[in-house]
Amino acid sequence: MNEPRTPSLPSRLPKVGTTIFTVMSALAAECGAVNLGQGFPDFDCDPALLDRVNDAMREGLNQYPPMAGVPALRQAVAAKIAALYGRSYDPEREITVTAGATQAILTAVLACVHPGDEVIVLEPCYDSYAPNIELAGGRVVRVPLTPGSFRPDFERIAAAIGPRTRAIIVNTPHNPAAVVWTRAEMQRLAEILAPTDVLLIADEVYEHMVFDGAEHVSASAIPELAARAFVVSSFGKTFHVTGWKVGTVAAPAALTAEFRKVHQFNVFTVNTPMQHALARYLADPAPYLGLAAFYQRKRDLFRAGLAASRLKLLPCEGSYFQSVDYSAVSDLPEAEFCQWLTREIGVAAIPISAFYDGGFEQRFARLCFAKRDETLERALERLARL
């Protein structure tokens, strides 16, 4: 009798391996390094939020919620967007609760991208964008942000739009570059897209982490963009609970209808007690309105420590990432430098080249400062050896 045989499986994503975040986190654990690579806090959320989860579970709110999300949470999200950005979304037809922002972006792509369609991404970009587009049968069109400053190059964006362009993905505040698009830049994007049928997927998961008195200009706040946008947000990032994987998408009713057709078959619905807890917690805006000051203090502490090292600081306008230029320290390529830094110095970082197709070497590395002060101080002590 022949041995059982596993059939060969042609890959849907033949160029995709293990993400750099998983690789560097595993190396950090192996080496006992301070992990400033993967973007998650090492501190707890507000105990009051946990109390609300426990209350919801003990109240028996443990079964399937409506497919689009708990009504109270969708209403709270719509109220928040209206208060912050001046856009009124119908919570019944235009707000959907998702299993985190990554699922939200994939669902938006699958809902609107057909085989052969083109989708513009601005590099460096989060590593899920291109595989999402490829899974939908689309073609990724890569437009670089301006090297060094990472600001949008609108001439190149406009030149990349063609008859097959279905969508563009824009991320602000930006991961990994920590750039925040200005109102003028968002308006310029609106002008470029106005004569087209190009959709916008607006990744705004760091919306409440904007520093030095700057504002986050949501696509929701620009009527010409809001009319064509899926606006993605993340409770995990905002409330320090990345493992909960709860996010939202706001979009016009016609776009939401198509989004939900996919959502109901790739997730269907999202954790019930956490939705109820978040709805109740959002009644007080102070936690998210205070987030910018909370992270700016950490950013300033971290930047002050890094300034004493040989690492050159790049701007950090928003998010919880700080990128550095290590060219005064090493000639190693970025991935090799980050591995060396983890093994020899005891601090894990992420190479910026990992956010480009095929890599783009600038001798830049990304560090995450969403950590306890003592974690940051321990990392700074080690980085001072450079």
CATH topology of domain 20-45+289-383: Aspartate Aminotransferase, domain 1 (3.90.1150)
Q: The whole model's pTM is what?
A: 0.96
Per-residue pLDDT averaged across 109-114, rounded? 98
Calpha distance 199→119 (Å, rounded): 9
Confidence grade of residue 271 (pLDDT, cut at 50, 70, 90) = very high
pLDDT, tens only, 174-200: 999 999 999 999 999 999 999 999 999
Calpha distance 273→222 (Å, rounded): 33
- Chosen CATH of 47-284 out of 3.40.50.300, 3.90.700.10, 3.40.50.2000, 3.40.640.10: 3.40.640.10
Choose among 383, 380, 350, 346: nearest CA to 367: 350
Confidence grade of residue 258 (pLDDT, cut at 50, 70, 90) = very high
Domain ranges of the chain: 20-45+289-383, 47-284
Whether pLDDT at 341 is above 90: yes
By percentage, how much of the chain surpasses pLDDT 70? 100
Calpha distance 325→313 (Å, rounded): 6
Interior angle at CA 100, CA 99 and CA 104, nearest 5 = 85
pLDDT, tens only, 132-185: 999 999 999 999 999 989 999 999 999 999 999 999 999 999 999 999 999 999
What is the model's pLDDT at position 358?
85
pLDDT, tens only, 84-111: 999 999 999 999 999 999 999 999 999 9
Q: What are phi and psi of 314, to 5 degrees?
A: -95, 160
What is the model's pLDDT at position 21?
86
DSSP-assigned letters across all residues of 55-74: HHHHTT--S---TT--HHHH
Confidence grade of residue 348 (pLDDT, cut at 50, 70, 90) = very high
CA–centroid distance for 370 within its chain: 14
Instruction: State the CB neighbour count (10 A cutoff) for residue 225.
Output: 23
How far from 375 is each of 35, 40, 195, 371, CA to CA, in Å?
Answer: 9, 13, 49, 6
Calpha distance 303→212 (Å, rounded): 14
pLDDT, tens only, 13-68: 998 887 888 889 999 999 999 999 988 899 999 999 999 999 999 999 999 999 99
DSSP annotation of 168 reads: E
Whether pLDDT at 359 is above 90: no
CB 16 within 8 Å of CB 131: yes
What is the model's pLDDT at position 19?
83
What is the model's pLDDT at position 373?
98
For residue 10, give both structure tokens. 């042609």
Q: Which of 22-31, 208-217, 233-242 has the lowest mean pLDDT?
A: 22-31
What is the model's pLDDT at position 17?
80
By percentage, how much of the chain surpasses pLDDT 90? 94
CB 165 within 8 Å of CB 119: yes
Whether pLDDT at 1 is above 80: no
**Average pLDDT over the chain, rounded to an integer:** 96
Helix and strand numbers, DSSP H then E, in the chain: 15, 13
Choose among 266, 23, 17: nearest CA to 131: 17
What is the model's pLDDT at position 15?
85
Whether pLDDT at 203 is above 80: yes
What is the model's pLDDT at position 32?
94
Whether pLDDT at 227 is above 80: yes
Residues 6+ apart with CB under 8 A from 195: none
